[in-house]
Amino acid sequence: MKYLFQFMIILIFVFLGEVCEHFIPLPIAGSIYGLLLLFIALCTHIVKLEWVADIADWFHGIMALFFVAPAVAVIDIWSDISGIWYYLVLLLVTAYVVTMIITGKTADYFLERRRDKK
């Protein structure tokens, strides 16, 4: 029952994100809105971390499963992208490095902020 409750909380934020996508005229996916809303709810303690921690850990454990369909799609369109694959790899590596740097700097910022509060 605990897992169902945690899953329902995440589904509520997914739904709210889709609602935001419908009403806010920006080219942002509903899943991004949902993540932002959940992040804000966690930061403001509207949602407690314990309410979603176990199911989030489970999702993290099966995350690789979500990449099977895109991998199959790449194999399916390989003939179309075979001439530019190296540009795509360069783009992916660059995006990965930039994402890691931004994530690290953001985590450092919040850790410093938490340490300053104590």
* pTM beyond 0.85, yes or no: no
Task: Please state, in angstroms and rounded to a whole number, the distance separating the CA atoms of residues 110 and 18.
Answer: 28
50 and 100 assigned to the same domain:
no
What is the pLDDT at residue 48? 94
Ordered DSSP codes for 54-70: HHHHHHHHTGGGGGHHH
> Which structural domain, as residue segments, surrounds residue 117?
66-118
Taking the chain (118 residues) in runs of 10, the rounded mean pLDDT of each run is 92 95 92 94 94 92 85 87 90 96 95 86
46 and 83 assigned to the same domain:
no
27 and 76 assigned to the same domain:
no
Residue 32: helix, strand or coil by DSSP? helix
What is the pLDDT at residue 9? 95
CB 51 within 8 A of CB 5: yes
Residue after which a domain boundary falls, among 14, 40, 61: 61
Q: How far is CA 42 from the centre of its chain?
A: 15
